Amino acid sequence: MEKIILASGSPRRKELLEQIKMVFRVEKAEGEERITSGVPSEVVKELSAQKAQEVADRCDGTVIIGADTVVAAEGQILGKPKDREDALRMLRLIQGKEHQVITGVTVILKEKKKTIRFAEVTKVYVYPMTEGQIESYADSEEPMDKAGAYGIQGRFAAYVSGIEGDYNNVVGLPVGRLYQEVLAEGVDLLSAGRKENTQ
C-alpha cells in the first residue's frame, strides 16, 4: 500500500491534507534551500523538488509531497520575513495592490518511478492599509512564518478584497490540483492512505 509523506513542517499544509481526510505522516525537510532561478514559478518548483527529494532519500514512503510557497509583488519574490522590519517592508509592498501567491508542488511516486512537478498561481487583492494597521498586524506575530508576511486564514483576512484562483493555494497547498495531478498517474491519494491505515 502507498505510504504518503508530507515533506513539510507547515502546520497549514498539514491541516489542508487532514481536511480532505488524507492519511499521511510528516517528515520535515531539513536541507539548505538552493535557488538557481529568478522566476517565482521556477523557484518554488525547484525548492519543492529539493524538499521532496531529500525526504524521499531518507524515508520509506512511496508517495512524497514537497511544497514551497512565495509571494510575488512588484517584481520581487517575498518569502518568510527575517524580522519585524522585513515584515513591515513586505506589508507596505502588498497593501492596496494585487500580488501573486505561487506554490510549487513536487510529488515523487517511488513505485512508478515518476515525478510530478507544477506551480499553482493565485492572485490576491489587498485593500489599502494605514501605517497603523500595518504596524499593528506586524506586531501580532502572525506574519513571521508566512510567505509575504501574512496569513489569509488569520487576521489579515480583514484586508483582503478578493482573490482569483485557488484559496487553498494561498493558505499553502493547492490540494485540489495536487489530488487531480496524482490521480492522473493512477494513484488515489485518498483511498491509498485509508487502505494502509486499516491493515
Rounded Cα gap, residues 69 and 137, in angstroms: 21
Candidate list 57, 68, 83, 145, residue with the active-site label: 68
The SS3 call for residue 161 is strand
> Helices 11-19 & 175-183, crossing angle to 10 degrees?
60
* End-to-end Cα, the chain, rounded Å: 9
Residue 68 annotated to the active site: yes
**Residue reference for cell 513505485:** 111
Sign of dihedral through CA atoms 103, 168, 147, 162?
A: positive
Residues serving a catalytic function are: 68
